[in-house]
């Protein structure tokens, strides 16, 4: 049963990734910004936009340390209403528990580990205190060489940890038709890199969400509002030991 639902979910994710690959970064930039609710203040990576918004709104500076959720559609909150991605719920959870952090959603649907490498400079400019890295699913569904995906993730973790930020790694897995050898190497990537860089790891981001009624959207790929709340709890449990109260 577990294999059947995991197969349908990840197969659907592959369709989304393939259809969005060429234009997703541009198309989803505005979508991601619109998803940032009152729970999660928007952060622009464009200095001119940031300056213009600051002048217009004259908002007080938010000096809370940043938690950047860095990933693909599962992080972006694809298909969910604005303010209902897992980073939005993570912000609410942190606020409720008295943690003074600001969560920034840097998820883009269709991103591979290579796309993540290309975006690293933008993430580092934010000077985050903690980054939750969630990539690899699109690589696996496309059957990309394990060595390539592993090298990209290795570089991501190397640069983030070298910058002084704390890193947490969230994984995904693949359906059985990809073969036991490929799946084993794919899953082992997260384990090996978490061990190499001494970072906290969540083996499966959608734990407690997949296969539960009401937790997944009709596409059987992305979490609903209720599902994203569970994902946020998964991530909160992962990062709580890394936070300063």
Nearest to 17 by CA among 105, 115, 98: 115
Q: Are strands 66-71 and 200-202 parallel, antiparallel or unpaired?
A: unpaired
Could you confirm whether 73 is annotated as catalytic?
Answer: yes
Cα dihedral angle (28, 33, 35, 38), rounded to 10 degrees? 180
Residue 34: count other Cβ atoms within 10 Å of its Cβ: 13
Q: Which of 88, 93, 139, 222 is catalytic?
A: 222
Q: Which of 37, 73, 85, 149 is catalytic?
A: 73
Could you confirm whether 163 is annotated as catalytic?
Answer: no
Nearest to 203 by CA among 228, 186, 220: 186
Nearest to 132 by CA among 142, 141, 123: 123
Cα–Cα distance, 10 to 224 (Å, whole number): 16
Could you confirm whether 219 is annotated as catalytic?
Answer: yes
Cα–Cα distance, 156 to 154 (Å, whole number): 5
Cα–Cα distance, 206 to 208 (Å, whole number): 6
Cα–Cα distance, 33 to 48 (Å, whole number): 16
Q: Which of 95, 163, 219, 220 is catalytic?
A: 219
Q: Which residue's structure tokens are 């860095």?
A: 70
DSSP, collapsed to helix, strand or coil, labels residue 26 as: helix
Give the tokens for residue 81: 């209403």
Is the sign of the CA dihedral 89, 221, 135, 122 positive or negative?
Answer: negative
Which residues are the active-site residues? 73, 219, 222
């Amino acid at each position: 049963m577990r294999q059947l639902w995991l197969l349908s979910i990840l197969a659907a994710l592959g369709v989304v990734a393939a259809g969005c690959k060429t234009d997703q970064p541009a198309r989803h930039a505005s979508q991601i910004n619109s998803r940032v609710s009152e729970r999660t203040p928007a952060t622009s990576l464009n200095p001119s936009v940031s300056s213009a918004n600051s002048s217009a709104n004259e908002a007080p500076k938010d000096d809370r340390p940043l938690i950047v959720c860095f990933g693909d559609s599962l992080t972006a909150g694809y298909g969910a209403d604005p303010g209902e991605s897992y980073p939005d719920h993570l912000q609410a959870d942190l606020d409720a528990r008295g943690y003074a952090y600001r969560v920034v959603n840097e998820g883009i649907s269709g991103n591979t580990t290579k796309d993540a490498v290309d975006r690293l400079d933008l993430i580092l400019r934010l000077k985050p205190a903690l980054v939750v890295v969630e990539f690899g699913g699109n690589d696996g569904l496309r059957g990309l060489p394990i060595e390539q995906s592993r090298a990209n993730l290795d570089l991501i973790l190397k640069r983030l940890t070298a910058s002084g930020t704390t890193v947490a790694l969230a994984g995904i897995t693949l359906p059985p038709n990809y073969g036991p050898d490929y799946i084993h190497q794919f899953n082992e990537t997260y384990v090996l890199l978490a061990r190499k860089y001494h970072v906290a790891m969540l083996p499966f981001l959608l734990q407690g969400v997949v296969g539960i009624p009401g937790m997944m959207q009709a596409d059987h790929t992305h979490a609903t509002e209720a599902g994203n709340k569970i994902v946020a709890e998964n991530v909160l449990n992962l990062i709580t030991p890394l936070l300063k109260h």
